[in-house]
Chains A and B, each alone.
Chain A
């Protein structure tokens, strides 16, 4: 690895950095990072990078790697290949594996399998044993084993007493609890958002209040239990954005993420009965999309996470109502977000980068990544203006359940560096 980016725009808000530089990465180290022109090796690959941006490596707080238990959908290897090809140098994997990540042995298993990749795996563990919502996990031991957040993702912790116990138990170590906000009593058998359209299509709906009821309960519990750290996963409704906004205004330590599909696609797409539009939470209405974009712009929403949820073709290519929830997202996140947020003029490129780097690292208390000479290279490099068409057959993920196939996007990841490795993204 010996590559030189000439005249690249380097952005990192925590360094107050936003300027054009020459960056030379050699053997995993940023060998040169300034406006000066260094003396390069004879075999250095030189890239004219004037339309590219270098940022700290992107991190995704919400990824389903599926291993252990469902390696027909994804493996740790294929998931991490997809992550690096998507521009991510870190991912947080979700605990709804089989067995669930509710015990230190599973954490150790994943850590052993995730060694040696460009992309780092950080682990979230379940709040309750086997994610059944009944009794809390060995959170202290799991924390000691390196777990960065606790969530029963895939389901919510429905019982308020259990959630209160979790907040109380997490308090001395100030652990981070996250929630997939869904009042399951309101969403049985759902296929899409509950709306005029769901009635017309004859599909069972998931009302927006099912998300908001659990979110507002959790905010109240987090406050009641002593202003605990709380992260709302993949929020999707206007009401949820409003709840987070008012919680933050009260000074609560509440954060949240949104997925690219929840600000780029609407429920109208379900009229096709195509299972590539089926996920949990479901695609919502235009007013929800507007509220999410507003929340991203005003800082209510802290970060973008993909909820990368691979499923095999034979599982997805069935009657819509029988298809599993979830879409893949690692390899389209940058393109979709740049297209729908930055090129549409809704947020600045600087804000966009914070949503994938500084903010998510703050949420999980991870050390920030700096761009400077002499440091290990942990970088995501993307072309801000490259136009491309999504081709699911080129993806590294083991699954192809994307709604963005054939979408035209503007902006594309190009190079990713971490752990003394480099990949040139191919899509």
Chain B
């Protein structure tokens, strides 16, 4: 593969940072790592570079995935969790960033509960920021690995009918996937209850499908989102039962269409948005997404770290 290919941006804050060519470059690179990775061997792409895993919000899979990706590229990866940091002593976010920066860290993988934090940090550092999820705003590496999974499964993303189901309103995964799938010219529709998907403001310029049966009938792919239990506590939804009945995916519904593909960013609430009996199905790509996640993150770290 052509090693000279570069992304059009020196960071990754949201899906819209990447154009079609950029996405192709990332996919090719991820493919390369997937084909060439051997157990016990490491690539030297990030040798000598220190990558900070700056997770200001709890995360398991994304943090592990980035950490493994960085290590496979020979980076020095340091972890940073807000619960054990000086943030809890009242240090401001920017001071924390500058402290880590003064120690020679050049790349930052950032997860934060507030929307816009990666952008805020990127504007105040010379280092490279990779957004690992910010508030309700964006989770671009998730969108990349989702599209990569579709690309590997179908051979192309263009023209695929993808319906995103569930809590669109509070989901950074939904936002990033909508942008990326549109860049890749998939046909995207949305399905979710009225309080979790604003109908009066046509925000995402996507058609809305009113219930899960119609969604399944229309789609090649359903991307099911995690429903946070807080939604019930805050009164945005009346009950889990009703959500499950109208927007949850049952095995019976899923089995109606043989080639239907299901994805979910995890962690899954079985019994709420998804019937646990779906999990072993070969067209349920949840574990594949996780596996692809590491290669996508290796690709990004390698591409964004190449000029450091």
Contact = CB atoms under 8 A, between A and B. Distances in A.
A320 B201 contact: no
Interface centre among A199, A272, A317 (most CB of B within 10 A): A199
B115 A320 contact: yes
B94 A318 contact: yes
Nearest to B234: A188
A196 interface: yes
Contacts of B201: 195-196, 199
Nearest to A319: B114
A320 B204 CA distance: 23
Contacts of B172: 202
Nearest to B120: A273
Interface residues of B, number: 23
Interface string B78-92: 000000000000001
B237 to A, nearest CB: 17
A6 B119 CA distance: 52
Contacts of B23: none
B137 interface: yes
A34 to B, nearest CB: 56
Nearest to B197: A199
Contact of A202 (B93, B134, B198, B204): B134
Contact of A201 (B92, B137, B204): B137
A317 B116 CA distance: 13
B1 interface: no
B26 to A, nearest CB: 23
Contacts of A160: none
A202 B136 contact: yes
Contact of A317 (B94, B114, B137, B198): B94
Given A195-B201, A273-B120, A319-B120, A201 B93 contact: no
Contacts of B92: 314, 317-318
Given A199-B169, A202-B172, A320 B116 contact: yes
A50 interface: no
Contacts of A202: 115-116, 134-138, 172, 175
A268 interface: no
B175 A200 contact: yes
A199 B206 CA distance: 14
Interface residues on A, range: 10 to 19
Interface centre among B92, B114, B175 (most CB of A within 10 A): B114
A119 B230 CA distance: 51
Interface string A198-220: 01111100000000000000000
Contacts of A319: 93, 112, 114, 116-117, 120
B308 interface: no
Interface string B111-133: 01011110110000000000000
A275 to B, nearest CB: 9
A238 to B, nearest CB: 16
A196 B120 contact: no
Contacts of B136: 202-203
Interface in B134-187: 134-138, 169, 172, 175
Contacts of A199: 169, 198, 201, 203-204
Interface string A293-318: 00000000000000000000010011
A203 B93 CA distance: 19
A322 B94 CA distance: 13
B202 interface: yes
A203 B114 CA distance: 9
Contacts of B138: 202
Contacts of B94: 317-318
B154 to A, nearest CB: 27
Given A200-B175, A314-B92, 14 more contacts: A195-B201, A199-B201, A200-B204, A202-B115, A202-B172, A203-B135, A203-B137, A273-B116, A317-B92, A318-B93, A319-B112, A320-B114, A320-B115, A321-B114
18 contacts: A196-B203, A199-B198, A199-B203, A200-B203, A200-B204, A201-B137, A203-B115, A203-B116, A272-B119, A273-B115, A273-B117, A273-B120, A318-B92, A320-B115, A320-B120, A321-B115, A321-B116, A321-B135
